[in-house]
Amino acid sequence: MNTIYQIEGFEPPLREAGMSEFGFAVLLDAGFAKKCLNIELNDRAKEFLIECANHTISSILPNRVLYADSPYHFAKTKDSKESILLQYCEVPGVNCCSIGVGYEGIRDIENSYTGTLRYSPHNIDDIYQSYSLLSIWLRWCNAAMHMVGEGQL
């Protein structure tokens, strides 16, 4: 993969869509993911990401209640601290509207996997949820690129 990420299937359905039909996937370069997994997330960067994500979500989904803790969930480093590698992110919706990577994907990265890490959709029911998820995922990725290059935000 020559880029850090690739987005798949972010087009609205061509017909009337039902529940969970607005999903998309993101492929993340395994080398970049491994770098992220080896950097501990500091409180300042985490708070900044959460604040930006909550602002984005409330702008796109103004009538939905935000999560009390965080729309971001990060993979753990080998010493069980939060890394800057995003495991999944979620927005308000029925039954956990999210895009993320399973634990097996994280373990593959730890074990020198060289392909791509696939963020898969879960219960994305409308274009607003889809746009919100992609927006906060991209916000995380831009911040992670900075943190990998600079050390931290």
Give the single-character DSSP code of 40: B
pLDDT of residue 114: 78
pLDDT of residue 17: 61
Whole-angstrom Cα distance, residue 148 to residue 39?
8
Whole-angstrom Cα distance, residue 82 to residue 106?
13
Amino acid at 24: F
pLDDT of residue 148: 93
Torsion over CA: 73, 74, 76, 80 (sign)? negative
Maximum Cα interatomic distance, the chain, rounded to a whole number of Å? 48
* Beta carbons within 10 angstroms of residue 1's beta carbon: 14
pLDDT of residue 18: 62
Whole-angstrom Cα distance, residue 15 to residue 35?
40
Pick out the chain residues at pLDDT < 50. Answer: 151
